[in-house]
Amino acid sequence: MKRTAYLQTIKPIALALALALLAGCATSTTKKSSIENRVNEYWQLVLAGDYAGAYEYLSPGYRSSVSSNQYQKSILLQKVKWEEAEYIESDCTEVACKVTISLKYTVYGAVPGVKSFTSSQEVQESWVLADGTWYLVHKN
């Protein structure tokens, strides 16, 4: 009888533990797909030249100090044209993510005698969670 009582006590505990682990995995998977979607949406807007739309993906702190027009102007004045962006991976905590993307770009007039050159590189971005939404922390 003691063994049966012991097993009856352990089964609910083991079940609760297993459900907690599965919930943690589901939350992690949901968080990763959520951040991946936000990153891809942001870069689709940038690549399409919709800088006003992309501005809405920037952190509330950045948007409180830089207007949409200022942001758009800073993008348009760059000698870089973004050609492609590909999400690679993210490393997230509860409220922040380090996201790695591969960017293909063309730089115009950066080197005397060279009209332009195209290259690509992996870049890390910082994203933060605010009010349930992921935002890009823009580097000034």
- Using one digit for the tens of pLDDT, what is the confidence trace for 91-126? 999 999 999 999 999 998 877 888 888 999 999 999
Domain boundaries, the chain: 26-137
- Using one digit for the tens of pLDDT, what is the confidence trace for 40-81? 999 999 999 999 999 999 999 999 999 999 999 999 999 899
Instruction: Supply the pLDDT for residue 24.
Output: 45
Instruction: Supply the pLDDT for residue 133.
Output: 96
Strands of the sheet containing 133-137, edge to edge, are 80-92, 96-111, 114-130, 133-137
| 3-class secondary structure per residue, the chain | CHHHHHHHHHHHHHHHHHHHHHHHHHHHHHHHHHHHHHHHHHHHHHHCCCHHHHHCCECHHHHHHCCHHHHHHHHHCCCEEEEEEEEEEEEECCCEEEEEEEEEEEEEEEECCEEEEEEEEEEEEEEEEECCEEEEECCC
The fold of 26-137 is: Nuclear Transport Factor 2; Chain: A, (3.10.450)
Give the integer Cα–Cα distance in Å for 58 and 128: 10
Instruction: Supply the pLDDT for residue 98.
Output: 97
